[in-house]
Homo-oligomer: A and B are copies of this chain.
Amino acid sequence: MTKLDRFDLQDFLPYLLNQAAEDASAGFQAFYKERYGMLRTEWRVLFHLGRYGEMTAKEICERARLHKTKVSRAVASLGKRRIVSRRTLENDRRQEMLYLTKQGEIMFKELLNAAQRYDAELATSFSAEEGAVLRRCLKRLAGL
Contacts and interface: CB of A to CB of B under 8 A. Distances in A.
A137 B136 CA distance: 12
Identical chains in the assembly: 2
Interface stretch (A11-19, A85-93, A94-102): A11-19
A62 interface: no
Interface string A10-35: 11111111111111110011000000
Contacts of A119: 7, 11-14
A21 B14 contact: yes
Nearest to A19: B142
Interface residues of A, number: 52
A118 B18 CA distance: 16
A137 B140 contact: no
A59 interface: no
A138 B17 contact: yes
Given A10-B139, A19-B144, A122-B141, 20 more contacts: A4-B51, A4-B112, A7-B119, A9-B51, A10-B144, A13-B122, A13-B123, A13-B135, A14-B21, A14-B28, A14-B118, A15-B44, A16-B135, A17-B17, A17-B138, A20-B139, A23-B143, A24-B141, A126-B137, A130-B136
Interface of A: 3-4, 7-25, 28-29, 44, 47-48, 51, 64-65, 112, 115-116, 118-119, 122-123, 125-126, 130-131, 133-144
29 contacts: A3-B112, A3-B116, A4-B51, A7-B116, A8-B51, A9-B47, A9-B48, A10-B144, A13-B135, A14-B24, A14-B25, A14-B28, A14-B29, A17-B20, A17-B25, A19-B138, A20-B21, A20-B137, A20-B138, A20-B139, A20-B142, A21-B21, A23-B142, A23-B143, A125-B140, A126-B137, A126-B140, A130-B133, A133-B134
